[in-house]
Amino acid sequence: MTLEKSLDVELFFSILPQDWKVGILPFWDDYNSSTTCLVIKDNNEIIAGGLIFSKCPPDMLYAKQEADFWFEAGYKYLGFIYVSESRRGQNLGSFWLNSLKEMYPETKFWLTIEDLNLDHFYVKNGFRMNKSLFNDGVEERIYISC
C-alpha cells in the first residue's frame, strides 16, 4: 500500500458516501487549485484518502473566522478523511495520518470531528482537542496536530 497525491480526485470522490459528496462536489472548482488529495491505493484501487485544504473548506464556512485563525497561524485543514467500509479496522486511517506527517514534516494540521467517538483515534494519532464549535446546535470539535 502507498500514500500518494491523486491527480484524479474524482476517483477519490467516488468512494465517499453520498452526503459527503454533496458537501464537496458543488464547491470543488473553487478549491481544486488550493487543495491536495492524498489517497491510499491497494492494487491500483483507492481504498482511503483525504483532502488537505489551504483555505476555508466548504464544510467550515459557518465558522470562517475560526478557520481563518488557523490558516493564518500556518495550519492546513484536513477534511473528508475516509476509509472504504470494507477496509476499516486495518489501521488505514492511522497509516494515512502518519504518512501525511512524514510527507509534510514541517506542516501543522487542524481538523474537526462531528463523531465524538473519534476522539481516541485522533488523540492516538498525535492530535489534541482544542475547542468545541456548534453548527446548528451540533457539537464539532477542533483538533490540532501536536
- Domain CATH for 14: 3.40.630.30
Is 7 among the domain residues? yes
Q: Are 117 and 86 in contact, with CB atoms under 8 Å apart? A: no
95 burial level (CB within 10 Å; 0-12, 13-18, 19+) = middle
Q: How far apart are CA 26 and CA 11, in angstroms?
A: 16
pTM: 0.94
Is 6 among the domain residues? yes
C-alpha cell at 11: 476517483
Phi-psi category of residue 59: left, alpha or beta, with phi > 0 → left and psi -120 to 50 → alpha:
alpha
Is 43 among the domain residues? yes
Is 126 among the domain residues? no
Q: Is the confidence at residue 106, as pLDDT, over 90?
A: yes
7 pLDDT tier (thresholds 50, 70, 90): confident
Q: How far apart are CA 5 and CA 36, in angstroms?
A: 7
Is 144 among the domain residues? no
> How far is the CA of 78 from the CAs of 43, 44, 55, 114, 137, in angstroms?
25, 23, 11, 14, 23
Is 96 among the domain residues? yes
Contacts of residue 117, Cβ cutoff 8 Å, sequence gap at least 6: none
Is 113 among the domain residues? no
**Tally of domains in the chain:** 1
Contacts of residue 120, Cβ cutoff 8 Å, sequence gap at least 6: none
Q: Is the confidence at residue 2, as pLDDT, over 90?
A: no
Residue-number span of the structural domain to which 79 is assigned:
2-105
What is the average per-residue pLDDT within 129-135? 96
Is 15 among the domain residues? yes
